[in-house]
Structure 1
Amino acid sequence: MRAGDKAAVSALRTTLAALDNAEAVSVEETQLRGLALEQSPVGAGATEVARRELSEHSVVEMVKAEAAERLDAAAQLTAPAHAQRAARLRAEADVLLHFLDGSDAA
């Protein structure tokens, strides 16, 4: 990817971050409360858990949602002062939708 393609880089970074967050396992607050210091887990990796694995369908839906979010935000930016930002959001959505073109056939 060219370094000058800022819209693509921005869209891919934020979408990858959203996918990474979706794979994270939530920590129950009850697990964190009420433990005395001497009862807390100790050692490297003592609190690590396996991440969730997203299905291909879930990933496609998340990418579609990211693209839709950008298109909705661009539609709300109607003032002439925001035209450049709206164009960038549309370009980011186009990048994400371009990646989905091949996955719909599968």
Structure 2
Amino acid sequence: MRTSLRRDLKAALKARDRVSITALRSALAAIENAEALPADHLRRTTENEHVAGAAAGVGATEAERRQLTDTELHAIVEKEAHDRSAAAGEYERLGRHDRAESLRSEADVLSRYLG
């Protein structure tokens, strides 16, 4: 799914499709965030006398990332689409029909990856 999202983002950028660009970037960012390890899992050393617990050495700032399953990827994209639909309903209720329509369009873009 991630490969499809990235490929389609590249096509959307070339086509200057703002709705697709926004939706795809957001979904990819959500995936990247989900892959990040919690801060307590990062490697730390206490060798630096100026900063307690500072990371030191080659590769000290690099951390392995979680490997998400297809089910987890699907759930993330589904949540992104659902959040947009819910927000669109709220904007509609507030009379912001233009913003509601934009969010519904973004949700439609993401829904294509759920089928």
TM-score by length of 1: 0.80
Over the residues paired in the alignment, what is the CA RMSD in angstroms? Answer: 2.4
SS in 2 for 1:49: coil
Distance 1:40 1:10, change over 3 A: closer
Which structure 2 residue ranges, 5 or more long, are not aligned? 1-10
Aligned residue pairs total 99
- Runs of 4+ deviating beyond 3 Å: 38-41
Question: Structure 1 residue 63 and structure 2 residue 77: aligned?
Answer: yes
Question: Structure 1 residue 4 and structure 2 residue 16: aligned?
Answer: yes
Question: Structure 1 residue 79 and structure 2 residue 94: aligned?
Answer: yes
TM-score by length of 2: 0.74
> How far apart are the structure 1 equivalents of 2:47 and 2:56?
12
Bigger Cα displacement from structure 2, 18-27 vs 46-55: 46-55
Amino acid at match of 1:7: V
Question: Over residues 75-94 of structure 1, what are the superposed CA-to-partner deviations in whole Å (9 max), with x where a residue is unaligned?
Answer: 011233x1111000000000
Distance 1:83 1:37, change over 3 A: same
Distance 1:17 1:56, change over 3 A: same
Question: Structure 1 residue 37 and structure 2 residue 51: aligned?
Answer: no
> How far apart are the structure 2 equivalents of 1:42 and 1:79?
51
Question: Over residues 34-81 of structure 1, what are the superposed CA-to-partner deviations in whole Å (9 max), with x where a residue is unaligned?
Answer: 94624744222024221100000000011000000000000011233x
Compare relative contact order (CA 8 Å, sep 6+) and give the higher one, 1 or 2.
1
Which structure 1 residue ranges, 5 or more long, are not aligned? 102-106
> How far apart are the structure 2 equivalents of 1:63 and 1:24?
17
Question: Structure 1 residue 26 and structure 2 residue 38: aligned?
Answer: yes
Bigger Cα displacement from structure 2, 44-53 vs 86-95: 44-53
